[in-house]
Amino acid sequence: MKLLKFFFLALLLIFVIMQFFRPDKNITQGDHTVDFIAETKPPVEVKTILEHSCYDCHSNNTVYPWYNNVAPISFWLADHIKDGKGHLNFSEWNTYDAKKKDHKLEEVEEMISEGEMPLNEYTWTHEEARLTEEQRNAIVEWAKKTRLLYQADLQPE
C-alpha cells in the first residue's frame, strides 16, 4: 500500500511540475493567408470551411481550446500543429512553387475525398469542423479547378 501511495504522489508531483512548461504558441496577428486566398480564390463556402476546419493545424494561427492550458495536452496539440504545418501551411503558400502547390492541392483532394481530414482527434472536440458530403465536394471541386491553373503554369513554353 505504501508503495502505491508513493507512486501516485510521484505521478501527481510530475503532473504539477509539468504545468510550469509550455510549448510556444502558434499565433500570428492579421491576415496570414492573404496570398493563398488571393491566388486560389476559394468560393466563400470553401474559404469558411478551411478557416473553421483546417487553419488550426495548417496555418500560422491556431485558435486554442481552453485545455491547451493543461500539460501534457498542450504538448500533444503543439506536436499536431507542427506536424500539420510541416506538411501543408496555407500561411506560407507563396513559398511553394507551382509544382508543389499543384501537388498539395492534389493531396487536399485525396485527404478530403477519403475523409481523412480534419483528423478524428480534432472533430471529437470540434464538432463544427466535421464536414458534410456537400462541403467535401465543394473543396474537391475547388482544388481540382485551382490545380489546372498551376498545371498551365508548368507547361513548357
Closer to ligand HEC by CB, 11 or 41: give it: 41
Query: Minimum Å distance from CB 16 to ligand HEC?
Result: 27
CA distances from 102 to 16, 23, 30, 84, 122 (A): 46, 33, 26, 18, 26
Among the residue ranges 5-13, 36-44, 92-100, 115-123, the one whose residues contact ligand HEC (CB under 6 A)? 115-123
Which of 118, 142, 146, 150 lies at the binding interface for ligand HEC (CB under 6 A)? 118
Which of 33, 68, 84, 91 lies at the binding interface for ligand HEC (CB under 6 A)? 84
Query: Minimum Å distance from CB 83 to ligand HEC?
Result: 4
140 binds ligand HEC (CB under 6 A): no
Burial 81-110 (b: 16+ CB within 10 A, else e): beebbeebbbbbbeebeeeebbebbeebbe
Half-sphere exposure of 131 (CA within 13 A, CB side): 27
Contact 57, 89 (CB under 8 A): no
Say how far apart CA 148 and CA 49 lie, in whole Å. 21
107 binds ligand HEC (CB under 6 A): yes
Where along the sequence are the contacts to ligand HEC (CB under 6 A)?
53-54, 56-58, 80, 83-84, 87-88, 107-108, 111-112, 117-119, 122
